[in-house]
Amino acid sequence: MTSTRFPAMGSLSPPILSSSFHNNKTLNPNNSPSHRPSNLRPFTAIISNSHYETERGFRFETGDTFFRHESATGRDLGVLAAALYKKSNSTLRVLDAMCGCGIRSLRYLAEAEADFVLANDANENCNCVIVSNLSSVSSADNGRWMVNHAVANRVLAERYVDRDLFDFIDVDSFGSDSSFFRCAFDTVKLGGLLYVTSTDGFSSGGHRPNHSLAAYGAYIRPLPYSNEIGLRMLIGGAVREASVLGYHITPLFSYYSYHGPVFRVLLRLNRGKLHYRFIAYCESCGHSQAISWDKLGQMKCPCGSDVPDSLVVSGPLWTGPLHCASYLTEMHDLAGEWGWLDDGMKNDLDKLLRRMIDESDLNLPFGYIQLDEIASRAKVNSPRLMTIMSAIQQEGYSVSRSHISNNAIKTNCPMSECVRIAKQIQNDSHDVCDHVERDNSTYSTSTSSGYRLFDRRSTIHQLMGGGKAADVLLWKRRRISLGIIVIATVAWLIFERSGLSFLTICSNVLLFLIVLRFLHANYASLRDKQILALPELVLSEEMVNYAAATFRIKVNYVLLVAHDITLGKDFRLFFMVCGHNSIIYLSSNQKPAEV
């Protein structure tokens, strides 16, 4: 392990530990045998596999390190935050505690214009890659960067002991490693920034409560907004460690990405109000509330539910704002100056920052509400996002979209009111359809305008459910209806007219794709081009949980209807089912006519 000492905090340009500076000299100005680290030894060059990537115009080598394109947005946010700090404080010293291939350190140097970056990674085999990448933006002789190899806690503790504090510390850890919190708070300056990470989706989903209790001091149970709980769990763990040292922290932004999942939070070390409480969710009515420590024995849902265990409690967690609106606005403006908002990249930084700014409304509580949950409780089709947001705003509530889930809203409107509004939207849509059907009626003038076949009161659209399926069947969505007919016709021509079976066609298609992929891979190797990465199927835990919950609700509803039919509670429905089953039985037993 290579570990080095550094100059005092006042020096902004310490010496460099680069590929040409791996010897037994200590970097402490008071060079003497008593100050030399005992484990410092000459570095042996290790050759790694060269693999190059490009990000924001910078070409860099990844070698054998772990690298993900999907994490580029998190790196963008970190660089913007570091650049804002440099602009307001005129100096910026960065410690990248787990730098990997060094892409974050590279970007802090080049884009945030850091005065000094300490790039640390415990894996000594990464040294050549890191040095090569950093040298591409700043010469080793400039003294703006240094490479170190030690575990994160050790390098943080050494900097604290030497009073060599940093303005910005980035700890891109894996899993639920929170052991570095205390050392990081010791090493960051007061008013400085700490960028922390968690990739533990199981704990945030409430599937490992004892593990989350050990890592972050919070007992987490399954909640509908589990991904936001992951962010609040991470902040809560940092709050606990900062409080031990007599500090408070303020989240400047909180970012969730599904590809890990990855939870990243930027914290400012200062003095402020402590939002460290418990979160209670009522499974009966869907209401969420924050519970203070002194109210733990007096928890009760406003709905007055008598269902045992209807309240699900998790915590203690951070219950304050996840973002600072003014800070995000500055980041958005800076990203616009740099041309990051309209560069055509897939990460869509503009939309992300705008949603995070909307989420920063102080009137909005913690958590978010999935539209599917509202529809399930209201027993209606899922309303359109903008429609229900507009209706909630007309009722006088605050509402915004969530950057964590595309099909969710953040609002201070109670769940009961959201259910009522969803029902009203459904009724209004039925009224509109009824009005359109009357306007488009082609009945003769001798027929009364209010007449419907069999004296029915509902429109055909309403009788068919009034949802998307009814729209498609009645050709209200002509493109979808036409597309279904075209696909069905093509499938009929392929399977019926060609005489080929389904398995035969599938095997031929797969064989063609395999050969095509083989030729493409070999062509790329001959031309020294990069082979396309294998696509990764990512299913967020939240998506799976809601799919399971929706399936459970539908199955229970079908069983309830079947139970009512068998008991004869609805004679009309009972005889309809019996009649339909009889018709199916008779039609299936018809023998084909002999030719």
Asked whether the predicted pLDDT for residue 422 surpasses 70, the reply is yes
How many other C-beta atoms can be found within 10 angstroms of the C-beta atom of residue 359?
23
Q: What is the reported pLDDT for 91?
A: 94
Residue 529's pLDDT band, with cuts at 50, 70 and 90, is low
Asked whether the predicted pLDDT for residue 346 surpasses 80, the reply is no
Asked whether the predicted pLDDT for residue 430 surpasses 70, the reply is no
Q: What is the reported pLDDT for 517?
A: 80
Q: How far is CA 414 from CA 278, 368, 374, 421, 576, in A?
A: 19, 11, 11, 11, 40
In the chain, % of residues over pLDDT 70: 77
Fold of 52-275: Rossmann fold (3.40.50)
The three-class DSSP label of residue 440 is coil
Average pLDDT (152-170) is 96
Q: What is the reported pLDDT for 559?
A: 80
Residue 150's pLDDT band, with cuts at 50, 70 and 90, is very high
Average pLDDT (412-427) is 92
> 29-33, 70-74, 155-159, 273-277: which range is least confident on average?
29-33
Q: What is the reported pLDDT for 557?
A: 73
Residue 16's pLDDT band, with cuts at 50, 70 and 90, is very low
**Is residue 304 left, alpha or beta, with left meaning phi > 0 and alpha meaning psi from -120 to 50?**
left
d(CA 74, CA 81) in angstroms, rounded, equals 11
d(CA 413, CA 395) in angstroms, rounded, equals 9
Q: How many CA atoms lie within 13 A of 31 on its CB side?
A: 6
278 beta partners? 291
Residue 467's pLDDT band, with cuts at 50, 70 and 90, is low
Nearest to 363 by CA among 412, 396, 319: 412
411 beta partners? 399
- Cα 489 to its chain centre, rounded Å, is 39
Q: What is the reported pLDDT for 308?
A: 59
Residue 136's pLDDT band, with cuts at 50, 70 and 90, is very high
Q: What is the reported pLDDT for 122?
A: 93
CB 166, CB 95: distance < 8 Å:
yes
Tens digits of residue pLDDT in 433-443: 555 555 555 44
Fold of 368-439+456-476: Phenylalanyl-tRNA Synthetase; Chain B, domain 1 (3.30.56)
d(CA 401, CA 134) in angstroms, rounded, equals 39
Handedness of CA 431, 432, 434, 438 (dihedral sign): positive
* Burial grade of 350 (CB within 10 A; 0-12, 13-18, 19 or more): middle
CB 95, CB 164: distance < 8 Å:
no
The three-class DSSP label of residue 301 is coil
How many other C-beta atoms can be found within 10 angstroms of the C-beta atom of residue 497?
8
Sorted by where each begins, the domain ranges of the chain are 52-275, 368-439+456-476, 492-527, 540-590
Residue 331's pLDDT band, with cuts at 50, 70 and 90, is very high
| Between 343 and 98, the higher pLDDT residue | 98
Q: What is the mean pLDDT of the chain?
A: 81
Rg over alpha carbons for the chain, rounded to the nearest Å, is 31
d(CA 541, CA 537) in angstroms, rounded, equals 13
Q: How many CA atoms lie within 13 A of 169 on its CB side?
A: 31
> 115-119, 257-261, 346-350: which range is least confident on average?
346-350
